[in-house]
Amino acid sequence: MKLVKAAAVLFALTPIAVHAQTDAMPPESKAPAQHDHAAGSMPEKPPVPPSKSVSLSFEGKTATVSLTDLATMPQTTVMVHNSHRNVDETYSGPLLSDVLARVGLTSSRETEPLILHSTIIATGTDHYFVLYSGAEIQPSFSTGKVIVAVMKSGLPDSEGGLIQLINTCDAKPARWVHGLMSLSVMSVAPTN
């Protein structure tokens, strides 16, 4: 456990050390920043640390699904437009609703109020997080698809941190999560 904590601290401090080294370099040895804003493209972000599993939590229940678990679940393939790169991309993986069923979030007539009052917090290895409503991830409520992608263009998705959250609902990929590492479901009880 101490080794894991030490590795985590070292990993967290690496960007600070690199930044400090870059600031100490003479100006002529620093590489100029490459920005192509005129062409409308976004600056490239560094890759996120890969995720090999996703931790799930809902109403006190927890589970972990590995990359292998996700790959053996029923797969859904979606084609989406990545507006950051201005290209169409194809991703495959299980529906988010199927993944969350492993901790008991299932859609039925009895659970409809629970689904409508739930929020899913999806967090990546780079600590980027987004929110989804319970209804928008359930096929019984939404025509869009939200998948836990493990394949991109038929190959393992190494570019997106091995596991990504991808949706067909949004015009921009702002709620895609690269290196998906956790999914937490929070439910709000209605007030009288």
Q: Can you give the CATH number for the domain in which 82 is found?
A: 3.90.420.10
What is the 3-state composition of the chain as percent helix, strand, coil, each rounded to the nearest 5? 30, 30, 40
Residue 34: per-residue pLDDT: 42
* pLDDT band, very low/low/confident/very high, at 2 (cuts 50, 70, 90): very low
Flag whether 130 is in a domain.
yes
Q: CA-to-CA distance for 164 and 17, rounded, in angstroms? A: 28
Domain range for 72: 49-187
Q: For the chain, what is the mean pLDDT? A: 81
Token output for 111: 């659970």
Higher pLDDT, 44 or 184: 184
Flag whether 36 is in a domain.
no
Q: What is the mean pLDDT of residues 109-132?
A: 94
Higher pLDDT, 146 or 4: 146
Residue 160: per-residue pLDDT: 80
Q: Using the predicted structure, report yes or no on whether residue 10 has a pLDDT greater than 60.
A: no
Flag whether 26 is in a domain.
no
Higher pLDDT, 47 or 134: 134
Number of domains in the chain: 1
Flag whether 43 is in a domain.
no
Q: What is the mean pLDDT of residues 39-57?
A: 79
Token output for 149: 């992608």
Nearest to 77 by CA among 62, 64, 94, 61: 94
Flag whether 12 is in a domain.
no
Residue 109: per-residue pLDDT: 87
HEC per residue, 4-17: HHHHHHHHHHHHHH
Angle at 176 between CA 175 and CA 178, to 5 degrees: 135
